[in-house]
Amino acid sequence: MRSFLFVSCLALWVVTACSAGGEQQPLSNAGGAGSNTPDNPATGGSPSDPTEAGAFFDSSMNQDTSAVCTDSIDVVFVLDVSSSMGFVLDKLGNEIDGVVAEAQKLTTNSGAHPPHFGLIPFVDNHVIDLGGVEDGNAVHLDAQSLRNAFKFHRTNFTNPNRNPGDGLGGPTMQNPICEENALDALYAAAKDFPWRANASHIIILATDDTFLERPDNYGDRDNDGLTNKTDYPREGDYPARWTVPETVEALKVAKIRLFTFTSRGDAERHCGTGRRLPWEARAAGWSAPYFNHPPLPDSTDGANFDLDLVRKSTLSLSSTINDIVLNTYCNPPVY
């Protein structure tokens, strides 16, 4: 049986104004030496001009201008497909043509191989989408293929509230706590997607909540160590398999830059079940520290964007992704 101690001095997260990387940075983080429950998180802040993604980047910062770059582009979407996240799938479905076209333009101009795209949807578990055409169908090459994939997961997992790793025969209404398993999906993206050696590696992640770490279990709604309750919200065995340091290391080994669209701690609440962590912890790991660990985008030379601005159509998802790809192309991470 596990229990988590909610103590106000467990973690003190202090943040300052936007850094050059585009998100708030921790100034101090006293206590919390380990991966437990962040119970005093910073809410995380918005960029000074959140409608201009280009303000986050200096495209020459990491770039070697001494030679012509002929790298291709690998982009993997790691998307929360829980019931509150359908709007992201809808927006991507409507706007993906422009994203693919802009990436293809970059590789055409440089004479590189065409861009590769991937999709890993997650809730309490994840799956690598196999609706593509290359590398065991994990790689998508065109917008229509990705649009079909977004629609498939929206219909079969978001709408019925089903975990994608359970397949089409999995139970519905199977999401007993608000936190979602982004961490394991990121680890799988780093380790299992067929990244190419001669490509810029980008992950685009979207979620409206934080995550848990091993040894917690997303299916244990009341944290009693059991996963056998069948009344709503039904429990199930969905263990967290990885930790923040393990996931960050996997991303770094694969030379991935992580860009995230996530909610702030004080954002509107869209989850109707219980929580393991406080509402304010929704920013943890994304725009604010997760205990003594800096936000994952900061650790991987990426950036974070306010998901609720996307929800309100104040921030264009496709335009921001295009800026990310443009400024990351042939611009390797500096860790």
Q: Is 6 among the domain residues?
A: no
Sign, CA dihedral 104-107-112-116, equals negative
Other beta carbons within 10 angstroms of residue 32's beta carbon come to: 22
Q: Is 61 among the domain residues?
A: no
Per-residue pLDDT of the chain (335 residues; tens, 9 = 90+): 333 333 333 333 333 333 333 333 322 232 332 333 344 444 343 333 444 444 455 544 555 545 678 999 999 999 999 999 999 999 999 999 999 999 999 999 999 999 999 999 999 999 999 999 999 999 999 999 999 999 999 999 999 999 999 999 999 998 999 999 999 999 999 999 999 999 999 999 999 999 999 999 999 999 999 999 999 999 999 999 999 999 999 999 999 999 999 999 999 999 989 999 999 999 999 999 999 999 999 999 999 999 999 999 999 999 999 999 999 999 999 99
- Could you tell me which of 196, 252, 274, 277 has the C-alpha nearest to residue 4? 277
In sequence order, the 6+-apart residues with CB closer than 8 A to the CB of 49 are 55
Question: What Cα–Cα distance (Å) separates residue 247 from each residue in 180, 204, 207, 242?
Answer: 15, 15, 17, 7
Q: Is 269 among the domain residues?
A: yes
Instruction: Provide the 3-class DSSP secondary structure of residue 304.
Output: strand
The domain tally of the chain equals: 1
Whole domain around residue 259: which residue ranges? 12-55+70-328
Q: Is 134 among the domain residues?
A: yes
Q: Is 2 among the domain residues?
A: no
Please give the backbone phi and psi of residue 148, each rounded to the nearest 5 degrees, phi first: -60, -40
Q: Is 108 among the domain residues?
A: yes
Element (H, E) at 79: strand 72-80
User: What is the pLDDT, as a whole number, of residue 68?
Assistant: 78
- Could you tell me which of 316, 298, 302, 288 has the C-alpha nearest to residue 46? 288
Question: Which CATH number belongs to the domain containing residue 105 in this structure?
Answer: 3.40.50.410
Q: Is 32 among the domain residues?
A: yes
Residue 149 near residue 76 (C-beta atoms within 8 A): no
Q: Is 62 among the domain residues?
A: no
Rounded to an integer, what is the distance from CA 58 to the centroid of its chain? 22
Other beta carbons within 10 angstroms of residue 13's beta carbon come to: 26
